[in-house]
Structure 1
Amino acid sequence: MTWNAFHHRGEILQTVIDTADLRLDGVLPMDLPGVPETFHDELDLIAALSLKWHARLSGNIERELMAQPLDLEAAITHAWSKSSQEAPGIRLIIDRYTESPSDPEMAAALGRAQEKEWLKLASAAGLASDESASAARAGERVSRNARIGAPVPTGSPNVDAVATPSLVDRIRAVLAA
């Protein structure tokens, strides 16, 4: 792929993302100008969208873990929710085609991608350290909690915000006792 082709593909992909975010119907916008010439088929386009989704999710996971390192599961749930809010069109397309793939090849690819996402969520949330079926189920639970809007704590309590009594206040307390 040449440099110009790479940039053209990126521009078309951004147009697809913008259109998906406007439509919010979960349908791949294969009808847009340049899409059929740039992407071989629906699987090629959804693979590019999945890559965008996973890059955004990974970035949000890193930011959440830096901001909220004590409650890992809440941080990962919040990162998933934030990613979904930032890229609603991509998430709807991935969900729709995962549930109703257009062919067996897409079903296999999206099934693998979903399982890998669940494993990543479970690992980042500290719920698993392997690629077992139980790890995938733990990641699926994190994803499900993010989808239903499970309450997410805003972070650990700020220890500095607790008022420390002054020396005079402590002396008064001792004398009063």
Structure 2
Amino acid sequence: MTWTAFHRRGETLRAVIAAADARLDGHLPMDVDGVPETFGDELTLLGALSLRWHTRLAGRIERELMHQPLDIEQAVVTAWQLTAEDLPGIRAVIDRHRAEPLDAAMADAMAKAAAKERILLAVMAGQVSARDDAAVRVGEQIENAARASYRPVRRIPAPRHASGFLDRIRAALAA
């Protein structure tokens, strides 16, 4: 993949995520400019969105474990909820395509992604040490606990304000 293609893919993925966040209907935003050329098909786009979800979730779990080292399972639940709050469109797309895959290949991919996510939840919560079917079941219980107390809200983008050092300098120069 060339440098230009890599950055175009990133830009397109950001546009897809923004569209999914705005819609929150769980449909893959295949109508976003550049999606057909960059991702090709629904399964490839769904794979990219799933990867974004999984990496953000893993990172959020690590951060929460630093803040809540005594209640590990609650830290994992909180991390799942905060990730769902950060990526509501991706979560909706993943949930919809887990429940209603477009074909057998997507059903298989979503089943594998769900199992890997649940294993991550169970292992990071300190509930299992092996990556097996028992870990998937424990992770599913943790996911269900996170969903049970999660209340999604439609976010309104906050107005951009000068908060960083460079922003303050720019504001001072503009004044």
C-alpha separation between the residues in 2 aligned to 1:10 and 1:64? Answer: 27
- 2:127 alignment partner in structure 1: 127
2:149 aligned counterpart, secondary structure: coil
C-alpha separation between the residues in 2 aligned to 1:92 and 1:9? Answer: 21
Deviations 1:48-84 (CA, angstroms, capped at 9, x unpaired):
0011101110111000000011111000000000000
- 1:169 alignment partner in structure 2: none
Deviation, 1:24, is: 0.4
Equivalent positions of 1:86-125 (< 5 A) are 86-125=86-125
C-alpha separation between the residues in 2 aligned to 1:121 and 1:27? Answer: 25
Deviations 1:98-136 (CA, angstroms, capped at 9, x unpaired):
111001001001100100110110000011011222211
C-alpha separation between the residues in 2 aligned to 1:38 and 1:69? Answer: 41
Seq. identity, %: 54
- 1:57 alignment partner in structure 2: 57
RMSD in angstroms over aligned alpha carbons? 0.8
- 1:20 alignment partner in structure 2: 20
C-alpha separation between the residues in 1 aligned to 2:30 and 2:132? Answer: 36
Deviation, 1:22, is: 0.4
C-alpha separation between the residues in 2 aligned to 1:96 and 1:129? Answer: 30
Amino acid at match of 1:66: M
1:59 aligned counterpart, secondary structure: helix
Max Rg structure: 1
Equivalent positions of 1:56-75 (< 5 A) are 56-75=56-75
**TM-score normalized by structure 2?**
0.84
C-alpha separation between the residues in 1 aligned to 2:60 and 2:33? Answer: 31
C-alpha separation between the residues in 1 aligned to 2:56 and 2:65? Answer: 14
2:21 aligned counterpart, secondary structure: helix
C-alpha separation between the residues in 2 aligned to 1:25 and 1:75? Answer: 28
Q: Give the number of equivalent residue pairs.
A: 150
**TM-score normalized by structure 1?**
0.83
Q: Is structure 2 residue 38 aligned with structure 1 residue 38?
A: yes
1:27 aligned counterpart, secondary structure: coil
Deviations 1:18-48 (CA, angstroms, capped at 9, x unpaired):
0000000000010111111111200000000
Amino acid at match of 1:78: T
Unaligned runs of 5+ in 2: 151-175
